[in-house]
Structure 1
Amino acid sequence: MVGYPITTPQNTITLLNLTAEFLLRMFNRLAKGIARTRNTLLEGLKSVLSHRTTIDAATLDMLESSLLIADCGIEATKKIVAAVKSRDAAAQDDLLKTVVCEMTDFLKPCESPLTIATLNGASQPFVMLIVGVNGAGKTTTIAKIGRRFKEAGLNVMFAAGDTFRAAAVDQLKEWGERLDIPVITQAPGADPASVIFDACSAASARAVDVLIADTAGRLHTQTNLMAELEKV
């Protein structure tokens, strides 16, 4: 049996014990989900170097395009291209190795256990704000995280900050009822910042350990919706 640890100021507790078989299935699903991005990236890199023996400005431009097409993001792409340029990689294997090393470095911070910065019964909850694009599965993920926290012995509360999507509040309330986790809501169309403010107040009053707040889906290019997050 293996488990995911959650570190608290007092001790480390096991969040959820999982069998090796379950973890293997979960890993296979993850690998399948990112296969398209992986293939796009690898094919792009091979295309960049197929007829080139040196890393020149044109090659770096093509590498940058390949990384962006594979959804690596602007900041990550800039760092990877800069790393390739500084190492002066001249062969395909060198370039692939450099890209892999840089991406691995980006993911290393995710290896750290999630640290809950409050003790059981503390007046201030540990707040998690879940954000992302439409249809990414934020509300369902909130339910999964909440269930694991609760099984770890923590007091959990949900905040229905997605007041825009139809039935979003009802969906989170349904998960709350199934998991026996309280959900703070307001009327549809209410100010998300107001909902989450009320939830923080309620969580403090009820000595909640973890407050997980839902938000409406949005893109980083939607200025008004990003400003809404700043208010939250």
Structure 2
Amino acid sequence: MKILLVEDDQALAEVLGESLREAGLLVEFAATGGEADFLISTERYDAVILDLGLPDGDGTRWLAQWRERSIELPVLVLTARERWSDKAAGFSAGADDYVTKPFETAEVLFRLHALVRRSHGHSHPILTSGDLRFDTHTGSVSLAGRPVPLTAQESRLLKYLMHATPRTVSRSELAEHVYDRDHEPDSNVIDVQISRLRRKLGKTRIETLRGQGYRVVALPSQG
């Protein structure tokens, strides 16, 4: 899951960004609305965390422009403005959720996960595909009730595929959403990590559709 954090307070951005990375998210930064606008127009993100007090214009103005351009990615407003009128302005501009500073990082994480799940059509925090379960709150994975240890990269890859289920995900989409844009992998790297997931989950759990990409298959329980 790749997040764009739009925050002009560099110290806060670094602290929050580190916490989000520790939780397994990919985080990219923008210090202004203009920079965020450029990145949103050229990169693909799963959600945006948006401060309202930006140096080049109110965050609600930028948000309203994105919605006018039919940019529908989830946006979580994170701001010190706690008056109801400010919250109303944020939601009216197109915000999906609103958190005021100071905040608990855990709350931001829970709300982010909920926004991304719902954008993919999932309401429950545990993603399931047959007897495969991925808890988006804890990051734990189980197969037929047994825990499956995954590396951080394997976990990000599987979580994105399960969010997309039953849709097929192309290699380019995986590269954009699961890997840092400064370290985007070639197709062989993705193939290797898919192969590792198959060894841990079963070789038929992730299907390859030639020329299209990958998708998670809901297999019946073996127990």
Structure 1 and Structure 2 fold alike (TM over 0.5): no
Greater CA radius of gyration, 1 or 2?
1
Query: Which is richer in strand?
Result: 2
* Relative contact order, higher structure (CA 8 A, sep 6+): 1
Q: Which of the two has greater helix per residue?
A: 1
Give the TM-score, by structure 1 length. 0.30
TM-score normalised by length of structure 2: 0.31
